[in-house]
Amino acid sequence: MTRAPHAATLADRLIRELDRALRTVTAGNVAQRDYPGEGVPDAGQDPDSRRHGAALMRVNHAGEVAAQALYHGQALTARDPDVREALLAAARDETDHLAWCERRVGELGSHTSVLSPLWYAGSFVIGAIAGLAGDRNSLGFVAETERQVTEHLESHLQQLPAGDARSRSIVEQMQRDEARHGQEAQLAGARPLPGLIRGVMRNTARMMTRTAYRW
């Protein structure tokens, strides 16, 4: 009988994570901050440019689905309550990014990745494993992830069609947020990851990017 409260708490947390997963991978995410593209002219673009811009924003949306899952997985297995709260706070920023990318993909007449449930499930498991490795290692995973994401977003700023100022404003705000998350993880005591793990992370991200661009 003494274990019942603990079991109930664990069950509640798992139900909460399932609810978060469903809200993340289905349409209708709501941002807490203003849409960066609001008021930015949506200049006329030829069909090829719009398709390319939409595909890039679909990739970014898939990345935000993965980011939500990573942070929630890490928060679930974090040991320090302060680290857990920092991870969840970062996830709230990622919810804004998710909603912004979702809206922009729709504005460009396209759809988000049909593989979003896969991106979420795989990333949640990875995040939970990172959390089980210890808080400093988990923070190191955050720092390295955000470093790579910042580089990825910079490449998208170079690739976006010249007339797509609205998408550019979204990506620039996302890039600032991701850089801040990485800095906060470093200040919180992130432990550098081995080169092998950094390489695996980079290759996994490339695979997801190539797939989400098309689907």
Q: What local confidence, expressed as pLDDT, does residue 4 receive? A: 43
pLDDT tier, 187 (very low <50, low <70, confident <90, very high otherwise): very high
Domain boundaries along the sequence of the chain: 50-214
Q: What is the pLDDT of residues 80-115, one digit of tens each?
A: 999 999 999 998 888 999 999 999 999 999 999 999
Mean pLDDT on 13-41: 78
CATH of domain 50-214: 1.20.1260.10
Q: Answer yes or no: is pLDDT of 33 > 50.
A: yes
pLDDT of residue 64: 93
Identify the burial level of 165 via C-beta atoms within 10 angstroms of its C-beta, where 0-12 means exposed, 13-18 middle and 19 or more buried.
middle
Query: What's the whole-model pTM score?
Result: 0.88
